[in-house]
Amino acid sequence: MFVRRMSSQPIVFRAASACLLTLLAGCGGVSDGPDRHNISGKVTFDGAPVVDGMIVFEHAETKFKSACPISDGYYENESDKGHLGGKYTVTVQGNQAKSVAGMPPAPLWKGVWTKEVDLPAESTKMDFEITKAEVDAAPPAPTNPADQS
């Protein structure tokens, strides 16, 4: 006679799965914070893609910042780390090449480039074309008084 042995493993697995799904359902869906939106686009310097760098979007009123890396002339952030819509100061720092073996790359220009923009309260694409004339005319980047001797 064949007797099937019952194992408690499937029951424990099902109970654990149900608990996990309940927890995950509570973590998604409705957000406690404001709606954030994806932004992506191209960044060029004198017509050539910025190989490496960082772009930061700072909301004019809340000072909320959203930053993402620039790679091969392209940037994109994730919606959950994106912008809120409204007036922003965009700051770009570009490098001549990608960092190698932990060594920081040389910057394309001194300081940072900034521009005021108005972003829609939705996902959007926005390209930034930076010229040498613009960065040469910009005031120098603020310095840290602790670095001065």
With respect to residue 146, please indicate whether it lies within any of the assigned structural domains. Answer: no
Whether residue 27 has pLDDT greater than 60? no
With respect to residue 61, please indicate whether it lies within any of the assigned structural domains. Answer: yes
How much is the average pLDDT of 22-50? 71
66 near 37, Cβ under 8 Å?
no
With respect to residue 27, please indicate whether it lies within any of the assigned structural domains. Answer: no
Q: Residue 70: which domain range?
A: 39-140
With respect to residue 1, please indicate whether it lies within any of the assigned structural domains. Answer: no
The band of 147, judged by pLDDT with boundaries at 50, 70 and 90, is: very low
Tens digit of pLDDT for each residue in 66-120? 889 999 999 998 766 777 788 999 999 999 888 788 788 889 988 889 999 998 8
Per-residue three-class SS string for the chain: CCCCCCCCHHHHHHHHHHHHHHHHHHHCCCCCCCCCECEEEEEEECCEECCEEEEEEEECCCCCEEEEEEECCEEECCHHHCECCEEEEEEEEEECCCCECCECCCECCCCCEEEEEEECCCCEECCEEECHHHHHHCCCCCCCHHHCC
54 near 67, Cβ under 8 Å?
yes
Between CA 133 and CA 123 the distance in angstroms is 31
With respect to residue 54, please indicate whether it lies within any of the assigned structural domains. Answer: yes
Residue carrying the six token digits 């996902």: 123
With respect to residue 9, please indicate whether it lies within any of the assigned structural domains. Answer: no
With respect to residue 21, please indicate whether it lies within any of the assigned structural domains. Answer: no
Beta bridge partners of 137: none
With respect to residue 48, please indicate whether it lies within any of the assigned structural domains. Answer: yes
Between CA 82 and CA 18 the distance in angstroms is 32
> Number of structural domains, the chain?
1
Tens digit of pLDDT for each residue in 116-146? 999 888 888 999 999 999 888 876 655 544 4
Q: What is the CATH number of the domain that holds 76?
A: 2.60.40
